[in-house]
Amino acid sequence: MNLVLCLQFYHGDRARAMRLARLIADIEPVRREDVEFMFVPRFDCEVDETFVSLVEQKFKCAFFRTHTQWQGWPAGPNGMIRDLLLEGQRRVAKGWLGATDSLLLIEPDCVPVTPDWLNVLIAEWQLALSADKWMMGTWRMSGGAMGHVNGNCIVRPDFASLVDLSCITQHFAWDCAIVPQVKDRWHKTNLIRNLFQETNVTEERMVGRWIGEQMPVLVHGVKDESAMTIARRLLNLP
């Protein structure tokens, strides 16, 4: 297994998370053995078993419920990611992840936009690993003098052993808080496009080629259903 896809959600975006899970399953023509799909609900949220049964047709499924009872932003997502990264390290220590070299961290406001999106991200991540990087994602000039790699990203499964997670508190977005520890260990990629807090996006905005950038395979940040509608059309899915 190469990658564990970790879909994080809480009660407020559970329905959207389940639609994303279905989209990810619909993309794959046959079951994959190199990718595991991990449902990551917050402490106060349940998983919709109807969607789990759909995903299980294409991926081995795992489950992890976060336990830190922080709520609101950025506290809620910070508590979830800290729990998840520590769980990743625990599973590494127990040998449960085998040869897995990556955790793909995504939230419900993501959509894949190409049928080969997982293969493309896995290939790019191998380049990052060969350069001794710890995380890979889209860089944004915000959150401090060095910017940050957006938290919808790929990290090493043992990330929690490489970074002091005590820097993740209730008050500052986690992917900004860790910057001093990872600024020399991140692999910046345009394969993941960050359209933070946008709505009513167009196809050009989602997948148009920006000057000097690769075309994206995963888009994050759109807060309405426009991205999902465009993604299904691009992927020829009903």
CATH number of the CATH domain containing 43: 3.90.550.10
Number of compact structural domains in the chain: 1
* pLDDT the model gives residue 113: 98
Contact 213, 194 (CB under 8 A): no
The overall longest dimension of the chain from CA atoms, in Å, is 45
Average pLDDT per consecutive 10 residues, the chain (238 residues; last block may be shorter):
94 97 98 97 94 97 97 97 97 92 98 98 97 97 93 98 98 97 97 97 94 90 98 97
* pLDDT the model gives residue 210: 85
* pLDDT the model gives residue 211: 75
Domain with 163 in it: 3-234
Q: Is the peptide bond before 74 cis (omega within 30 degrees of 0)?
A: yes
